Amino acid sequence: MKRRNDIRNVAIIAHVDHGKTTLVDSLIKFSGQFRESQLQQECILDSNDQERERGITILAKNIALTYGDTKINIIDTPGHADFGGEVERVLRMADGALVLVDSFEGPRPQTRFVLQKALEVGLQPLVVVNKIDRPDARPLDVLNETFDLFVELGADDATLDFPYVFASGRSGYASHDPATRSGDIRPLLDLIIERIPGPEVDEEAPLQFMVTSLTYSEFVGRIATGRISCGKIKTGQTISLMKADGSIKNEKVVALEVFDKLGRTPVQEATAGDIVAITGLSKPEIGDTVADPAFPKALPRISVDEPTISMVFTINSSPFAGAKEGGGKYLTTRHLRDRLDRELESNVALRVTEASDKEAFNVSGRGVLHLSVLIEQMRREGYELSVGKPQVIRKKIDGKVHEPFEILVVDVPQNEVGPVMEIVGNRRGEVTNMTTNSTGMSHLEFSIPARGLIGIRTRMLNATRGEAIIHHQFDCYKPIEGDVPRRANGVLVSQERGKVVAFALGKLQERSELFVAPGDEVYEGMIVGENSRDTDMVVNPIREKKLTNMRASGSDENIILKPPRRLSLEAALEYIEDDEYVEVTPSIIRLRKIRLTETERKQHSRGSVTE
């Protein structure tokens, strides 16, 4: 085995909003290898529409820069806990990791998660204390906190002697002195070359290549990306594709590409240590090994943490399914199954099973955001579907039922601690740590059942007037706790189909909060508002005023309606109860009862009571 000094493979890992993608922007701009037109926007690598709209990274991305005589392959990863599966699979491609930590916030739950995964894989960490130009920055304290985190995670003495640098990704400079506020990003690049090792390779050994990510092209089909562990690979070469079930298929490499700047460049040959993209394999899957047909030996498959949240995906069975205006193109169970199967190819943290109802699927993921991103993508592609209430996935351990618990971290002004403690306490959360810093912000850490988190963000933001900063991270499975409070209010359910009338809403808004406005189309069983009481109420939102030829002075009142409450997809998923669906179409999101008619609902409730 020998080390290649002409290449560095580096993953950038951090908690959400600590500045990974912005730091990559600085590296791209400093390299001077890109056209001005490629550098116009912020967060250059966040190319996905949803990434731009949400302001977060969802998918891991690869780019390559040349610094001196060394090629640096950079892997930008998501920071949100729900997309931890993306981080777990790409760490296999790297030899080192830039561990970004915000110079004020310090290590957070996702910092712990990604650092633990990096240490398990054996990556060389390089700590970057980012955002040192913040007025409230405390870079040296944060560096000490990061060292403590390494100790907690059981790092050995060699790892504890990690290199570090202070930086501002937005301003584009790095320094070994936390007081510096100028310069360029060169010190960080020098440290990468000096302290992160090149890949250890054996070019003469038989070929081994792990498929760690997949993309799809309409022109060439699936493109498998990964790092060559041993040997060499050439365009036109015959290889063996080793599957999860132990089967081996001989395939031909139609095209071979290496990463270059923001894209890929075709090459005739690549050797151990290179990160490459292979075209021509018929059905590669993440975790498959590409090997030499003469010596087919599989690499250990990627192991990813299990999902914790499950939802039912089913066809849209409402009267407005496939509506001419704003309706979807893909409406059937077959369309739904094909789309979910395609998602499974690249989304390693997702699980899909068929439900007892033949038209439904149980889709499991890391959290509500993980699944809502998939639903939103399907909606934009022209799919219509109905989605059930998120449910936690329980396990039987030693004969007892266990449920997932999460670490909930809340930063909130000191005067808003009371409402936060009350909300979390009502949902079976227990305080594990509580500190207050010099700026008057309280840092609260809780252990809470995962089901207690569903819907908590909206309630907490309302209770703290939008001041709370909320993060959560899966912790472990513990014996099941007692009940968690459900939605406090019932809903208004339409009993008719038609267009909403202002006259009807004027009477309803006195005792409810409305989700629809005059002119909106509704149908029987659709949820049109929230009741002020804890029971559901069937209403007629299309009732018009009776017209007569009799006049009465002062009888015509001026109807003033409050604007309706429009729920986002995530808010709708957290709002619904077990007997309700979120109806998702390309143009609109509606709430509905699973059983549309009042008679069906009464029969079902009587059956439930009898049982």
Amino acid 64: pLDDT = 85
DSSP state of 183: S
Q: Which residue type does 73 have? A: N
Rg of the chain over all Cα atoms, to the nearest angstrom: 27
* Pairwise CA distance, residues 62 & 28, whole Å: 12
Over residues 230-258, the pLDDT tens digits come to: 888 888 889 888 888 888 888 888 888 88
Q: Which residues are annotated as a binding site for GTP?
A: 17-22, 130-133
Please give the average per-residue pLDDT across 162-189, as a whole number. Answer: 87
Q: What is the pLDDT confidence band of residue 170, given thresholds at 50, 70 and 90?
A: confident
What CATH number labels 2-199? 3.40.50.300
What does pLDDT average to over the chain? 83
Please give the average per-residue pLDDT across 273-285, as a whole number. Answer: 85
Contacts by 541-545 with C-beta closer than 8 Å and gap 24+? 541/492, 541/494, 541/496, 541/500, 541/501, 541/504, 541/505, 541/508, 541/516, 542/494, 542/496, 542/497, 542/498, 542/499, 542/500, 542/501, 542/504, 543/501, 543/503, 543/504, 544/501, 544/503, 544/504, 545/503
Please give the average per-residue pLDDT across 372-383, as a whole number. Answer: 89
Query: What tokens were used for 373?
Result: 């991103």
Amino acid 106: pLDDT = 84
What CATH number labels 397-479? 3.30.70.240
- C-alpha 64: how far from chain center: 25
Question: Could you tell me whether strands 96-102 and 124-130 are parallel, antiparallel, or unpaired per DSSP bridges?
Answer: parallel
Amino acid 386: pLDDT = 92
Residues 6+ apart with CB under 8 A from 466: none
The answer for 186, left when phi > 0, alpha when psi is -120 to 50, beta otherwise, is alpha
Query: What tokens were used for 299?
Result: 């690499």
* Domain ranges (residues) in the chain: 2-199, 208-291, 397-479, 491-546+556-608
What CATH number labels 208-291? 2.40.30.10
Query: What tokens were used for 231?
Result: 């040997």
E strand or H helix at 507, and its extent? helix 502-508
CA distances from 588 to 167, 478, 567, 568 (A): 43, 39, 10, 10
Q: What is the pLDDT confidence band of residue 441, given thresholds at 50, 70 and 90?
A: confident
Q: Which residues are annotated as a binding site?
A: 17-22, 130-133
Amino acid 128: pLDDT = 92
Beta carbons within 10 angstroms of residue 384's beta carbon = 27
* Pairwise CA distance, residues 47 & 63, whole Å: 13
E strand or H helix at 377, and its extent? helix 368-380
Query: With contact defined as beta carbons under 8 Å apart, do 432 and 447 qualify?
Result: yes
* Pairwise CA distance, residues 544 & 499, whole Å: 10
Question: How many residues belong to the chain?
Answer: 611
Residues 6+ apart with CB under 8 A from 589: 567, 568, 569, 572, 582, 583
Query: With contact defined as beta carbons under 8 Å apart, do 79 and 18 qualify?
Result: yes
Q: What is the pLDDT confidence band of residue 583, given thresholds at 50, 70 and 90?
A: very high
Over residues 315-345, the pLDDT tens digits come to: 988 888 887 676 778 888 999 999 998 888 7
Distance separating the N- and C-terminal Cα atoms of the chain: 67
Over residues 4-33, the pLDDT tens digits come to: 888 888 988 888 778 877 888 888 778 765
Q: Which residue type does 221 have? A: G
Q: What is the pLDDT confidence band of residue 568, given thresholds at 50, 70 and 90?
A: confident
Instruction: Tell me which CATH homologous superfamily contains domain 491-546+556-608.
Output: bipa protein (2.40.50.250)
| Buried/exposed code over 36-55 (b: 16+ C-beta within 10 A; e: otherwise) | eeeeeeebbbbeeeebeebe
Amino acid 591: pLDDT = 92
Amino acid 57: pLDDT = 67
- C-alpha 412: how far from chain center: 24
In 293-365 the beta strands, taken as DSSP E runs, fall at 309-314, 351-354, 360-365
Q: What is the DSSP string of 429-454?
A: -EEEEEEE-TTSEEEEEEEEEHHHHT
* Pairwise CA distance, residues 547 & 332, whole Å: 44
Query: With contact defined as beta carbons under 8 Å apart, do 357 and 344 qualify?
Result: no
The secondary structure of 514-554, three-state, reads: ECCCCCCEECCCEEEEEECCCCCEEECCCCCCCCCCCCCCC
- Domains 2-199 and 491-546+556-608 belong to one CATH topology: no
Considering only CA atoms, which of 114, 95, 102, 89 is closest in space to residue 23?
A: 102
Over residues 498-512, the pLDDT tens digits come to: 888 888 888 888 888
Considering only CA atoms, which of 105, 128, 164 is closest in space to residue 12?
A: 128
DSSP state of 243: -
Considering only CA atoms, which of 177, 187, 139 is closest in space to residue 30?
A: 187
| Buried/exposed code over 181-209 (b: 16+ C-beta within 10 A; e: otherwise) | eeeebebbbebbeeebebbebeeebebbb
DSSP state of 48: S
More reliable by pLDDT, 607 or 531: 531
* Pairwise CA distance, residues 123 & 115, whole Å: 9
Over residues 39-90, the pLDDT tens digits come to: 555 555 555 666 566 666 667 778 888 888 888 888 888 777 667 777 777 8
Please give the average per-residue pLDDT across 589-606, as a whole number. Answer: 86
> Which residue reads 């893909």 in tokens?
330
DSSP state of 181: -
Over residues 379-437, the pLDDT tens digits come to: 988 899 999 998 888 888 888 888 888 888 888 888 888 888 888 888 888 888 888 87
* Pairwise CA distance, residues 530 & 528, whole Å: 7
Amino acid 313: pLDDT = 92
Please give the average per-residue pLDDT across 265-285, as a whole number. Answer: 86
Amino acid 550: pLDDT = 56
More reliable by pLDDT, 276 or 263: 276
